[in-house]
Structure formats: structure tokens, C-alpha cells
Amino acid sequence: MSRYYSLGKIPPKRHTTFEKSEGGLYQEELFGTAGFAGMSSLIYHIHPPTVVSEVKRLGDVAPIIAIEKNMKAMSFQGFSLPAEDDFLKSRKTLFANSDLHIGLAAPKGFSKEYFYRNSDADEMLFIHIGSGTLRTMYGDLDFKYGDYLIIPKGTTYQIDFNTEDNRLLYIESLSAITTPKRYRNNYGQFLEHSPYCERDFRMPKDLKAHDEVGEFRVLSKKQGVMWEYTHKYHPFDVVGWDGFNYPYAFSIHDFEPITGRIHMPPPIHQQWEAAGFVVCSFVPRLYDYHPKAVPAPYHHSNIDSEELLYYVDGDFMSRNNIEKGQITLHPGGIPHGPHPGAIERSVGKKSTEELAVMIDPFRPVSITEEALKLEVDDYYKSWI
């Protein structure tokens, strides 16, 4: 997040003594990426964050690939994914390449017996069903239906869900997830033509310093392996921090659509970008207003990227018989477009209430065994 933010108590100068009232020093930690050149924040702990009594390798958690190379349009019923008691066990990676993993989760809760840290990837959690609070050393972030949660690589967190009925779409990105450069000026401020602005982002709040000693299990994923670190001090023993690297939330309902007289290309819907993919938000909007406009998307062959569309709500006008939580995959290299009748149905329509998340990876994705459990048979024949 290219925006400075601060919470709690911090000293007036960085890398200087910060004394506790009872004596001793708070422990400063630089939390950053890209070899001191990327986004970073300075964190002030009550205790050193480095005191670890035990490290265990728990096992391989890399997704099992069923189809390495695919050239067929496919679809998957996401809401067919069974709910599971715990957050980590519920996460099922469906698609993967060297830039990102894409998956679904249906957790009933998040076990308080551990904290979780993804040491490989930034995470994007899209909340389709459910609400709750993301808890990190940066403070708390409340979330609800339609929220994107962006969690920087290496952030230790827990989640308090309000109910047992939760459905999430997630991305694990090996590069930083950011807002598109074209939306920002040279100073990092969002431009007037951006579909959102600084007011739409929600930052952590209610920072609580947990001054606790014990055995705190942090499950850390690195290179497809899950490790268990046992820390002596609570991971959230932070009295203050400042910087540019922290989790934040954004509601898809705050994305302001860009419209025109004739059909606009998908990049107008772009929400996020990373080194190997983009994410777009399709939201309710007025249709094109040229007297002969065709609101349905034209057939297109985007040779250099895959297209994955996750259907959230409303009637997605370019597809027939699509349900909430369904995912379609259209591989790069072959044409795709509206289902039969969609073009004709769209002519003369004034608006749409569709809500969807589109992910366009720039490299082909492999398909996992978990994905095939949700596959819709013969989706590629649905244009006949």
C-alpha cells in the first residue's frame, strides 16, 4: 500500500532508543521486502520477536497438480466445496503457476491454537460469505461480504469469524499485490480518473499490545512446506508502528465503474496488479449508451493470458446458467466470448447488477486435483 500510516506509540526518530516506562527498551523490527528496497514498516515490540524454542517441519502442503497443461475452457462449482472446521484445512488451491496460486476456502472458524504466516506470498482474501475480524500485530481489520483483504507476505495473523458460514476466494501472489500504476500520480496519490480513492481503503485499528509469555505456535508456509515455530512471546506484542507495509481492506462495493458509449475493454475494471497477473472487479453499472451499442463483450482471443472469472452475485449477462461461487477458466490462445443468446439479450439493456472477480494470469495455470472435484462436465461444449 503506497500510503504512509501509523498506529500506537513510536519514538520521534527511527533507529533510536525507545524506553519503556518500567525500564528497558522496546524492540524495533524493520518489516520489509525486496532487500530493504521494497515496502516496509517499523514495528516496536515489547519483547524481541526472535525468541523461538522449537522449530518443526510439519510437511509438504504444495498443491497436487492434475493437469499441467490445459487448452480447454472449463468451469467449476465453487460452492460445492465442503465446509471444514478450520481455516487452513479449508483452503484448497485450484489453480497454480510460478506467479500465483488461486483457491477457495469454506472455513467454519480459525483455530486459536495457532497463528498463520505465509512466508512466500502476499495474500488476497475476497469475502464472498461471512464477516469477522482479521487480527495482526498491526491491529484489527473488520471485514464483511464483498471485502478484499490484502495481507503482505510474512504477516502473522489470526481471523475471528462471526459465524460458521464463510466462503472465501483467495490468491497467493509471489510478488507484491498493488494498485495499478496508471491510477496513481508520481507522488502515489490516486488520480481523478481512478475508480477509487484513498477514502475507500480501510486500515488496521484498535492496536492492542499483548504482553504475554508462553508457547505461541506460528504455522509458517515456505516453498510449499508448512513449518511450526514455537515463540516465547505473543506475536502481537506491538505498542506502535509506522510505514507503508501493512494489511488493509477494500470493499468491491466501493469500486466506481468506468462506462462509455460503446463497450469498454476489461482493463477498465482493473482493481489490483502484480508481477504476473491482474485482478478486476465487475460491479453494477450502467451499460453503454450509443444507440446501437452491444453491451455484451465481443468475442476475443487474449493470446497472452488466461481468464478466470469468479461469479459473486447478480445476473452475469454474458454467461448462461451460471451460479454464485462458480469459476470459469478460459485459457489463452483460443477465442472466447458470450454464450449463445447473450449478445442479443444485451441489446437495449440499460444496466447490469452483476458482481464478479476476474483474475488474468499472464502465464498458463495448471489445474489441481482439488479443482477437478468441482468441475462442471463439458463446459467447453456450452456454446453449441
pLDDT along the chain (384 residues), means of 10: 91 97 97 90 98 97 97 97 97 98 98 96 98 98 98 98 98 97 94 96 97 98 97 98 97 96 93 97 94 92 92 87 94 92 91 95 98 97 93
**Which residue, 369, 41, 55, 53, is CA-closest to 222?**
55
SS3 content of the chain, % helix, strand, coil (to 5): 10, 40, 50
3-class DSSP state for residue 57?
strand
Phi-psi region of 348 (alpha: psi -120 to 50; beta: other; left: phi over 0): left
State the pLDDT at residue 1: 66
> Any idea what DSSP says for residue 79?
G
State the pLDDT at residue 226: 98
- Rounded CA gap, 330 and 320, in Å? 15
Spell out the domains of the chain, with CATH numbers in brackets: 5-62+83-251 (2.60.120.10), 255-381 (2.60.120.10)
- Rounded CA gap, 202 and 374, in Å? 34
| Cβ atoms of 226 and 219 closer than 8 Å | yes
State the pLDDT at residue 358: 97
> Any idea what DSSP says for residue 375?
B
Backbone angles phi, psi at 136, to 5 degrees: -140, 180
| Cβ atoms of 347 and 289 closer than 8 Å | no
Nearest 5°: CA angle at 137, between 133 and 143?
A: 20
- Rounded CA gap, 297 and 335, in Å? 12
Assigned C-alpha cell, 371? 479443482
Flag whether the pTM goes above 0.85.
yes
State the pLDDT at residue 285: 94
CA 377 to chain centre: 28
Cell 499472464, residue? 362
State the pLDDT at residue 151: 98
Range list of β-strands (E), 51-189: 52-60, 65-67, 74-77, 92-96, 100-105, 115-118, 122-129, 132-136, 139-143, 147-151, 156-161, 167-173
Assigned C-alpha cell, 39? 515496502
